């Protein structure tokens, strides 16, 4: 029988959370997945186009940020951890922009493979008056070659003994595939390293045996329905049924479902469900929020946190990042202050 609990914070728990944060600087995380360049075009709207009923954006500036797996890496770095991103970049201008950005942050680049035939994925967002007007993507979605897959595996084998946690960031662009995941999960078991997955809803069958997953509500329900799991009662299955069923099916230790304005729900193998209310005061942009969640969750586990503690800390990080425009990261100082502000 599952039990529902809500986290209450005592002074001793606050001290414990701060101890975990202090351990972030010793955390070493391997992050595997799809690399994306996030481009932001900032401007203002003063009129509607005479050609079509669309706003005309007067562009004021442009900015570029590491996205996808590299946003996870950036979050780990700004929180004080050491990160090793592992994935594929195109040999193009966009790839060079990404490489320069992560080198500027002092992020290790040995796990990056270059592909002349594959363009770097670019997501371009047009922002006017603090609102996203439109987004367009430039990408080539297909599985990476066997040769590149083997190159990634060689790096994973080389570095795995040095890291505390593995994160799989699956954006469905072609890096995360069974020939890469199966030997990686097997290696992680051999070295007793936790494996966390930010999943793609169509790929849940790939993730059997990982330690924990961090889907949003839509992804969790979609995976439940796609697996044709039976449920009792009328209408849609409850969140509790979905969460516990996925944990059982994937043989994972935990499932952390993000619920937007309702916070998060942590399901554990022992049968508990813990609801963590949101701490966000204002929501400006959810771009990359899932990256922040899994980055903080993984770094907290690397620092010795229990699942509930890691979930609470990642919820605080998410509450901070959604209050920023664009693909953003959370600093160690911001997270420490958020812990201080928790009510007793």
User: In a 10 Å sphere around its CB, with 0-12 CB exposed, 13-18 middle and 19+ buried, how is residue 52 labelled?
Assistant: exposed
- C-alpha torsion 142→148→149→153, nearest 10: -150
CA 150 remoteness from chain centre: 24
340 annotated active-site: no
Q: Which of 34, 147, 291, 340 is catalytic?
A: 291
According to DSSP, the β-strands at 254-258 and 264-268 are antiparallel
CB atoms within 10 A of CB 187: 17
Do the beta carbons of residue 40 and residue 326 sit within 8 Å? yes
Give me 32's structure tokens.
């595997």
- List, in order, residues 6 or more apart from 339 with CB less than 8 Å away: 14, 17, 18, 21, 313, 316
Do the beta carbons of residue 209 and residue 185 sit within 8 Å? yes
Cα distances from 260 to residues 22, 215, 224, 257, 263, in angstroms, run 28, 11, 19, 10, 6
The residues carrying an active-site annotation are: 291
């Amino acid at each position: 029988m599952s039990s529902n609990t809500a986290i209450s914070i005592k002074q001793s728990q606050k001290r414990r959370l701060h101890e975990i944060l202090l351990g972030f600087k010793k955390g070493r995380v391997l992050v595997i997945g799809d690399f994306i360049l996030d481009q932001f075009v900032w401007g203002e709207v003063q009129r509607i186009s005479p050609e079509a009923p669309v706003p005309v954006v007067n562009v004021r500036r442009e900015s570029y940020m590491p996205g996808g797996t590299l946003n996870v890496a950036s979050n780990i770095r700004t929180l004080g951890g050491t990160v090793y991103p592992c994935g594929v970049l195109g040999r193009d201008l966009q790839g060079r922009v990404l490489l320069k950005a992560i080198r500027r942050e002092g992020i290790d680049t040995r796990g990056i493979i270059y592909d002349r035939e594959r363009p770097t994925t670019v997501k371009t967002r047009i922002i006017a008056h603090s609102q996203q007007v439109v987004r367009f993507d430039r990408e080539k979605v297909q599985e990476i070659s066997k040769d590149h897959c083997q190159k990634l595996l060689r790096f994973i084998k080389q570095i795995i003994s040095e890291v505390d946690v593995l994160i799989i960031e699956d954006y469905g662009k072609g890096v995360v595939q069974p020939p890469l995941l199966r030997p990686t999960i097997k290696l992680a078991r051999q070295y007793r390293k936790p494996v966390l997955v930010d999943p793609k809803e169509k790929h849940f069958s790939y993730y059997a045996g990982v330690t924990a997953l961090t889907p949003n509500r839509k992804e969790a329900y979609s995976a439940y329905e796609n697996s044709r799991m039976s449920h009792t009662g009328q209408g849609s299955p409850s969140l509790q049924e979905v969460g516990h069923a996925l944990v059982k099916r994937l043989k994972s230790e935990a499932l952390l479902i993000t619920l937007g304005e309702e916070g998060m729900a942590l399901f554990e193998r022992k049968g508990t469900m813990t609801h963590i209310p949101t701490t966000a005061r204002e929501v400006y942009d959810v771009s990359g929020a899932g990256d922040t969640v899994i980055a903080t969750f993984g770094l907290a586990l690397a620092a010795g946190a229990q699942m509930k503690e890691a979930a609470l800390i990642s919820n605080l990080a998410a509450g901070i990042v959604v209050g920023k425009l664009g693909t953003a990261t959370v600093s160690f100082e911001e997270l420490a202050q958020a812990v201080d502000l928790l009510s007793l």
